[in-house]
C-alpha cells in the first residue's frame, strides 16, 4: 500500500470511519441499499448510467474506506501481539 495512503487511513478516527462507512454502504435503508440494488442490476444486465456509476463510488467508496481502516487496525494489533518480548 502507498505509504501516504496508509498514513492517511491511520490518521482517520476508527469509530467514526466505520460508522460513516456502514451508514453510506447501507443507505438508503428502504426499499433496499443502493449497493445491493446496483449489484442486482449488474447481475441482471441492466445498463448503467453515469449517475449509477457515481452512486456506486459514493456509497461503495466510503464502505471500502471503512474496510481498509478495519484491516489496518487489525493488522497493527496482530503485529503488536507478535512483536512483544517473551
Question: If you write DSSP's letter for every residue of 8-67 in order, what string do you get?
Answer: HHHHS-HHHHHHHHHHHHH-S-SS--HHHHHHHHHHHTPPPPHHHHHHHHHHHHHHHHHH
In this prediction, residues 11-17 reach a mean pLDDT of: 95
**What is the tens place of the pLDDT at every residue in 36-56?**
998 999 899 988 899 988 988
pTM above 0.85, yes or no: no
- Give the pLDDT score at 81: 67
In this prediction, residues 6-32 reach a mean pLDDT of: 92
Looking at the predicted structure, is the pLDDT value of residue 18 above 70? yes
Among residues of the chain, what percentage have pLDDT more than 70? 93
**What is the tens place of the pLDDT at every residue in 45-86?**
988 899 988 988 998 999 999 999 999 999 988 887 666 655
Amino acid at each position: 500500500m502507498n505509504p501516504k495512503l496508509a498514513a492517511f487511513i491511520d490518521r482517520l478516527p476508527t469509530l467514526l470511519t466505520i460508522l460513516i462507512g456502514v451508514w453510506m454502504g447501507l443507505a438508503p435503508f428502504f426499499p433496499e441499499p443502493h449497493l445491493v440494488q446496483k449489484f442486482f442490476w449488474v447481475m441482471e444486465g441492466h445498463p448503467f448510467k453515469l449517475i449509477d456509476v457515481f452512486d456506486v463510488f459514493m456509497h461503495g467508496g466510503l464502505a471500502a474506506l471503512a474496510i481498509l481502516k478495519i484491516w489496518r487496525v487489525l493488522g497493527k494489533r496482530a503485529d503488536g501481539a507478535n512483536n512483544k518480548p517473551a
